[in-house]
Amino acid sequence: MIKKILSIKFIRFSISGGIATLVDVIVLYALVEWFRVWYLAAAVPSFLVGSFVHFLISYFWVFEHERATKFWKKYLKFTSIHILSLFINLLLMYIFVEFLKTHYLIGKIAAIAGSLLWNFWGNKKFTFKKI
């Protein structure tokens, strides 16, 4: 199982997720610090932007051999996996910020880390499964 987790797809997925996370965190920071949006409200659009970036990289680089269906069909499947991740992220951010008294960006990073395996498994088995 460890060998499977450390497969090249997982590494690529993690890299694409890292790039998407950076985008997500930058948008979150901009909304909270520059536009004074409440951190949980700002986490929704930042997550959606990061998720779209993650999809694009996953579609064209991580799972390039599994692109048998159309772009938008894959995107809808990807989004359905990420919607659950959004709820996981919001819950974990809330716990980290309100109960553990961490900075909202630390809570965001912890929340993203908490959903990494779910995202990989869900997208590998559902969104980009081999036909």
Contact 60, 75 (CB under 8 A): no
Tokens for 34? 């520059």
The pLDDT of residue 35: 98
* pTM for this entry: 0.81
The rounded mean pLDDT for the chain is 86
Task: Domain count for the chain, please give it.
Answer: 1
Q: What is the pLDDT of residues 25-60, one digit of tens each?
A: 999 999 999 999 999 999 999 999 999 998 899 888
Domain that holds residue 47: 2-127
| Three-class secondary structure of residue 36 per DSSP | coil
Q: What is the pLDDT of residues 4-17, one digit of tens each?
A: 655 677 788 788 88
Maximum Cα–Cα distance across the chain: 46
Q: What is the pLDDT of residues 32-41, one digit of tens each?
A: 999 999 999 9
